Structure 1
Amino acid sequence: MSKKRIVVIGGTAAGPKAAARAKRLDQTAEVTLLQKAPELSMASCGYPYYVSGEVRDRAMLLATPVGVVRDPAFFAGAKGVAALVGTEVTAIDRAARTVAWKRAATGETGHLPYDKLILATGSMPKVPPIPGRELAGVTTLSSLADADGLRAVAAAAKGGQAVIVGGGLIGMETCEALVTAGMAVTVVEALPHILSFLDPELALLVEKHARAKGATIVTGVGISEILGAAGKVTGVRLADGRELPCSLVVMAIGVSPNVALAKAAGLTLGATGGIAVNAHMTTSDPDIYAAGDCVEVLNRLTGKPMLAPYGDLANLEGRVAGENAVLGDKATFPGTIGSGICKVFDFAAASTGLSERRAREAGFEVVTAINAGPDIPGFMGAKPVVSKIVVEAGTGRILGFACVGAGNVNRQAAEMAMAILGGLTVDDVAMADLPYAPPYSLAIDHAIGTAHIVQNKMRGLMQGQSCVAVKGRLDAGETPFLLDVRGPKEFEEMRLGLGETLVPLGQLRKRLGEMPADKNAPIVAYCKVSMRGYEAESILEAAGYTNVTVMEGGLAAWPFALEK
C-alpha cells in the first residue's frame, strides 16, 4: 500500500497544527508543508508586543515554549514534516491532484502531488482604496515583516506622530505598542466606539482608559485621504475635513479571508466570503480540507456562518483537518461562540458569545445587567473589573458576557464561555460551585455576582439601567432625582457633578423627607458600584416609591468625565 501524501498550504497557525497532527496520527504519511513567507509558525498575536519592545528577541515569536525555533529543520526532525519556506503555491489542479509551486528566491517551479490537501492560507489585511495608501509610512501589522518594520520605525521615531486607522483588536494593541515606544498616537475609528465586539457601556470605559494613558481616540469619523510629500506620509485628512499630522499610518480595519487559490480552483465560497467547510473542515472537494482565517465557520448561538480569524480557533480547526486527512472524517469542529480578549495598556477587554447589539440583531429578546467591583478581596490587592451579561429573556439562557478592567477579566470571561457552551441558564450559574481562595477570587466570584444581578432583574426584584442609559436620559432633558448613597468622604473625592443629592445609605431611612414628595417621581440611586444603590432601591420601594432605578455598576462603570 502506497504512503498517503498530505500537502498543507500555509505555515502560520492552522497549517503547522494540521501537518503535525496528520504526521503524528500516521507516521507512514508523507506530509509536506508549503509556506510563502520565510518563517514558520509565527506567533502573530505577539507582534504588537514585539513592536513595543516588550518581546525583545524576534526568535521568541517563532519558538516553542522551551525556546526551540520552529524552522524547517525543527519540523523535519521533531515532527517528521517536510516544511518548505519561501515557496508559494500558485495553482491547484483538482483533477490531477497536484499543486504548482514557485520559489521566490530562485524562480524555481514545480508540481507536488497530493492525496489529501489542506488549505490554511490565512487572511489579508483590509486596505481600502484611500488616496495616498501607497505612500511610504503606510503599513499594516499582518506579517512578521510588518512587525519588523514597525519596530524599527517606533525605535527611531520617539516623539513622532502616528495615526492608526481602526479601533479593533489589532488597532488598540498597536496603539499601546506605539505609545509604549514613545510615539504620539491617534486612533481613528469610523464606528461610534472602539472594540466593536463590546457594547458601548464597556467600550467607552476602555476608551477612557486609553486616553488617560496618552492616546487620542477619534470615533464616528473615517479617513478620506492620506497626505504626503516627496512620497512620504505627512498626515491624514478625516472625512469631516480635519487634518492630523503624522509620519506613520497603520491600517488596522480588519482582515479578509485569503481565498484566491480556493476560488481559482473552483471550491465553494460561503456567504461571508470565506471558504465553505463542513464540521469536518472538508471543502466542496472531498479531498481538500481548509482551516484557519481563510474559512467561514458556524456561530453556535445564531446558527449562521461567520468569519472568526483567531489564532486559537485556527489551531483547533487545523487539528481537526489534519486528523481527518489521514483517518477519515471522524473529528469535528462544532463552530464558535466568538470568544476573544485583548490588552489595552493596564486594562484587558474580554468577551464571549453575543453582545447585546448582536443578540438583538440575531432576533433574540434579551435582558442585560452590568456589574462593577473588585476581582479579588481588597485585602489581597484587588483591581477593578466591570462586566455585562446578556441573557435570553424567556429562558434565562446566557447568550453573552463581556468584562473589562485592570483586574483578572480572563477568568470571568472563561467561566462564562463554558457556561454558554454548556447552554447554562442564569439560575445555573448563580449557584455555580467554583474554586475560592482570597488570592484568586471573591467568595462570590464576580461573574456569579453579575448573574445574581440579572437574576434579580428577571425576577422583578431590581429595576436597573446602565450608566450610558442614565446619561442618555439626562441628555434627552429628563430630570430624575439622582441619589448618591455613598459616604461624604467618597462624595468629596469624586462625583457626577450633575446636581445629585448625597444621602449616605445608613441615613436614608431617617431622611426620606428629603426625597421627592411625589412617590411616582423618577429616582436613580447609585454608589461606587451600586450595591448600596440596590439597597437604597429596596428601602425606597418599601417606603412607597414606585419609580426607582439602580444605576448599574455605579460610578465605577461611569464612562464619562467625573467631577473631582
Structure 2
Amino acid sequence: MKVIIVGGVAGGASCAARLRRLDEKAEIVMVERGPYVSYANCGLPYYVGDVIKTESSLLVASEAMFRNMFAIDCRTNCEAVAVDRSKKTVDLRDTKTGAVTTESYDKLVLSPGAPSFRPPLPGIDLPGIFHVRTVPDARAIREWIEKGTAFLAGMSNYTGIQMVKPKRRAVVVGGGFIGLETAENLVHAGFEVTVLQKPPHVLGPLDPEIACLLEGHLQRNGVQLVLNDGAAGFKQAANGTLEVQALSGKTFPADVVIFAIGVRPDTTLAKSAGIEVGERGGIRVDEHMRTSDPDIFAVGDAIEVKDFVTGRWSLVALAGPANRQGRIAADVIAGRDSRYRGTQGTSIIGVFGGAAAWTGVSEKTLNRLGDTDYEKVYLFPNSHAGYYPGAKPIHLKVIFRKSDGRLLGAQAIGEDGPAVDKRISALAMALQLGGTVYDLEEAELCYAPQFGSAKDPVNFAGMVAANVLRGDMPLSHWGETEGRLLLDVRDPAELVLESVPGAVNIPLPQLRSRLGELPRDREIHVICRSAQRAYYATRVLLQNGFTARTLGGGMLSRAVKAVAGAK
C-alpha cells in the first residue's frame, strides 16, 4: 500500500508516524511545501519575543528524522499542485526548481493547513507588516526588530552621544490567540502596543462578560485595546514608519504591524480535485476522516469538524484536535475502526502571568442557535485554599442543560494560570464523557492547601448548579429583575462602594429577625457580592414561605456585565 500525505506539522506528521507504527510495509510519502516538516507554530509568538531563544527549539521533527527513524520518504519544499482521482495520482512541484513529478497513491491524506487571512487592503505589502504563521514569518519579524535596534545603537555610536532610546510602537491587527500572544511579547520587548480588534471583544469563543475581564488584564499590563474597529489600509510615513488606517478614520503610527485576524482553510487542492467542501469553507469529512472520495482523507485546520456539543459543523484550528485526527486517519488506513468524537474547542491562552480558558459551547452560540434549554452559574472561588499564601480568585462560568444537568461548556479566567488550566481541563474531560453537574458534585480531585481546596472549584460549580436544578436555589440574572423586589443582604459598609438603586438592605445576620419587613406577595431577588450570602438568604426566605431567587454572580457579575455592555 502506498500512502501520500500532503502537509506535515501537526496533522500530517502525526498521521505519518502513527501509520508507520501500524504498518511496517506501507510505502509512505509525506510532502511539505515549506522548509520544515514539523514545527511548533504555537510557539512562534514566544520566538518573536525571545522567550524561546533559538529557532531550532521550534522544530519538532526533521526531514532526516522521518527518513531515518520511520523510513518515511519525507520531502520538504515540495508542493502538491494537482490530484487526478481517476488515475489516483498527485502532481508534486519542487518549490526551488519548479520541476513537477507525478506520484501514484492507494490512499491520500490532505493536511494543507489554514494560512493566515490576508485581505487585499491598500498598503498591506509594505515593509514592516507581518503575519505569524510559520517559522520564516517569525524569523522575519525578529530580524526587523533587531534591524531597528541596531540602527538606534549605530546612531549613538556615530554621534558619540548616548541617545535616549525612543519608545517603539507596534500595532497588532486582531485579538485572537496569535494577536494577543504576540502583543504580550512585543510589550516585553519594549514596544508600545495597540491591538486593533474589529469585533466587540477579544477572543471570539469567550462570552463578552468573561472576555472583558481579560481585556482589563491586558490594559493593566500596558496593551492599548481598540475594539469595534478594524484596519482599512496602511501607509508609509515620510520617516519610513507605518501608519495604520482604521475603519473609524483614526490612524495609528507603528514601527511594526502584525496582522493576525485569523486563518482560512486551504481547500485549493481539494476543490480542484472535486472533493466536497462544506458550508463553513472547510473540507468535509466523516467521523473516520474520509472525504467525499473514500480513498482520500483530510485532517487538521483545513477540515470542517462536528462540534461535540451542538453537532453543528465548525472550523477549529487547534493543534490537539489536528494530532488526534491524523492519528485516526492512520488507524483507518491501517484497517482499524477509529472514530473522531468531535471537537470541544478546549483552549487556553496565557498573557502577562494570567490565563483565560474554555471548553464546550458558549452562551452566545446557544443564543444564536435558538437553544433555550440551558442555565448558567458564575463562581469566584480561590485558586487554592484561602489560608495558604498566594491564593487568587478564578472567575468561572459554567453552562449546563436545564432539562438533565448535562455539562455544555465552561469558561474561566484568573491570574493563577495553572489553576485556571487545571479546572477547565477537568471540566473538559467531564464534558467529553457526557458528564452532568451532579457528576461534578461527586468528582474526587487532588487537594492540598497549595493546590486547591477540600471543596474544589469544580465540585463547587457542580454543587451550585445542582442546587439550581433541584430547586434549592432558584436563580435569576441581571436583566431579569424589572418589577421585582431586590433584597441586598450585604453589610451597610459594603454599600458605600457599590449599591443597586431601589434595593432593600437587610444584612444577612439580621434577616431572620426582620422577615416581617418583607412582602409575601412579591418575588424577591436576593443580592450580595458573589451570590454566596444571597444563596443563604434565599434558603431562609424559601423555608419561611417567601418566593425568592438568588441573583447569579451577585455584584461581581453585575460589574462585569456592565463593562461588557458598555462596549
Give runs of aligned pairs for residues 191-340 of structure 1, distance below 5 A.
191-229=199-237, 234-325=242-333, 327-328=334-335, 330-340=337-347
1:26 aligns with 2:12: no
Tell me the distance in 2 between the aligned counterparts of 1:404 and 1:396: 23
1:190 aligns with 2:187: no
Deviation of 1:547 (Å): 5.7
1:87 aligns with 2:78: yes
Tell me the distance in 2 between the aligned counterparts of 1:328 and 1:231: 63
Tell me the distance in 1 between the aligned counterparts of 2:240 and 2:335: 53
1:483 aligns with 2:455: no
**Aligned counterpart, 1:126:** 117
Residues 260 and 129 of structure 1: CA distance in aligned 2, closer, same or farther (over 3 Å):
same
Give runs of aligned pairs for residues 36-55 of structure 1, distance below 5 A.
36-55=33-52
Q: Is the 8 A contact 2:360 2:431 kept in 1?
A: yes
> TM-score w.r.t. structure 2 length?
0.87
- Out of 172, 179, 199, which is 1:164 matched to? 172
Report Cα offsets for 1:335-356 as digits up to 9, x if no partner: 2122111112222111111111
Deviation of 1:276 (Å): 1.2
Residues 366 and 556 of structure 1: CA distance in aligned 2, closer, same or farther (over 3 Å):
closer
Secondary structure of 1:173's aligned partner: helix
Deviation of 1:519 (Å): 8.1
Q: Is the 8 A contact 1:372 1:553 kept in 2?
A: no
1:402 aligns with 2:441: no
Tell me the distance in 2 between the aligned counterparts of 1:265 and 1:184: 47
Tell me the distance in 1 between the aligned counterparts of 2:144 and 2:476: 45
Structure 2: stretches of 5+ with no match in the other structure: 150-165
1:483 maps to amino acid: D
Q: Is the 8 A contact 2:526 2:550 kept in 1?
A: yes
Residues 93 and 371 of structure 1: CA distance in aligned 2, closer, same or farther (over 3 Å):
same
Deviation of 1:422 (Å): 1.7
CA RMSD of superposed structures (Å): 2.9
Secondary structure of 2:381's aligned partner: strand
**Aligned counterpart, 2:155:** none
Residues 409 and 553 of structure 1: CA distance in aligned 2, closer, same or farther (over 3 Å):
farther
**Bigger CA drift: 446-455 or 251-260?**
446-455
Deviation of 1:160 (Å): 1.5
Residues 363 and 345 of structure 1: CA distance in aligned 2, closer, same or farther (over 3 Å):
same
Residues 73 and 446 of structure 1: CA distance in aligned 2, closer, same or farther (over 3 Å):
same
2:366 maps to amino acid: A
**Bigger CA drift: 380-389 or 347-356?**
380-389
Deviation of 1:432 (Å): 2.2
**Aligned counterpart, 1:532:** 533
**Bigger CA drift: 548-557 or 4-13?**
548-557
Secondary structure of 1:293's aligned partner: helix
**Aligned counterpart, 1:14:** 11
**Aligned counterpart, 1:176:** 184
Report Cα offsets for 1:306-328 as digits up to 9, x if no partner: 11111001100011112222x23
Report Cα offsets for 1:254-302 as digits up to 9, x if no partner: 1111111111111111121111111111112222111101111112222
1:552 maps to amino acid: G
2:35 maps to amino acid: P
Q: Is the 8 A contact 1:136 1:232 kept in 2?
A: no
Tell me the distance in 1 between the aligned counterparts of 2:352 and 2:369: 32
Deviation of 1:404 (Å): 1.1
**Aligned counterpart, 1:67:** none
Q: Is the 8 A contact 1:277 1:290 kept in 2?
A: yes
Residues 479 and 54 of structure 1: CA distance in aligned 2, closer, same or farther (over 3 Å):
farther
**Aligned counterpart, 1:66:** none
Q: Is the 8 A contact 1:371 1:553 kept in 2?
A: no
Report Cα offsets for 1:60-109 as digits up to 9, x if no partner: 1114xxxxxx2111111122212111112221222222222222223333
Residues 510 and 236 of structure 1: CA distance in aligned 2, closer, same or farther (over 3 Å):
farther
- Out of 434, 441, 444, which is 1:430 matched to? 441
- Out of 108, 112, 124, which is 1:117 matched to? 108
1:532 maps to amino acid: R
**Bigger CA drift: 537-546 or 47-56?**
537-546
1:357 aligns with 2:348: no
Deviation of 1:375 (Å): 1.8
Tell me the distance in 2 between the aligned counterparts of 1:506 and 1:266: 71
Tell me the distance in 1 between the aligned counterparts of 2:279 and 2:331: 27
The size of the alignment, in residue pairs, is: 540
Deviation of 1:222 (Å): 2.4
Deviation of 1:218 (Å): 1.7
2:99 maps to amino acid: E
Q: Is the 8 A contact 2:437 2:461 kept in 1?
A: no
Secondary structure of 1:46's aligned partner: helix
Deviation of 1:504 (Å): 5.8
Q: Is the 8 A contact 1:137 1:232 kept in 2?
A: no
1:535 maps to amino acid: Y
1:97 aligns with 2:88: yes
Tell me the distance in 2 between the aligned counterparts of 1:84 and 1:276: 26
Secondary structure of 1:126's aligned partner: coil
Tell me the distance in 2 between the aligned counterparts of 1:359 and 1:193: 18
Tell me the distance in 2 between the aligned counterparts of 1:149 and 1:508: 66
Report Cα offsets for 1:141-182 as digits up to 9, x if no partner: 111111112233445468322222221222222221211222
Report Cα offsets for 1:399-444 as digits up to 9, x if no partner: 1111111231112112211222122222222222333333332111
1:441 aligns with 2:441: no
1:387 aligns with 2:419: no
Tell me the distance in 2 between the aligned counterparts of 1:161 and 1:272: 36
2:465 maps to amino acid: V
**Aligned counterpart, 1:496:** 498
Deviation of 1:134 (Å): 2.0
Q: Is the 8 A contact 1:205 1:557 kept in 2?
A: no
Tell me the distance in 1 between the aligned counterparts of 2:73 and 2:536: 66
1:255 maps to amino acid: V
Residues 430 and 51 of structure 1: CA distance in aligned 2, closer, same or farther (over 3 Å):
same
Q: Is the 8 A contact 1:135 1:232 kept in 2?
A: no
Q: Is the 8 A contact 2:173 2:257 kept in 1?
A: yes
- The percent of aligned pairs where both chains have the same amino acid is 35
**Bigger CA drift: 161-170 or 257-266?**
161-170
**Aligned counterpart, 2:354:** 347
Secondary structure of 1:257's aligned partner: coil
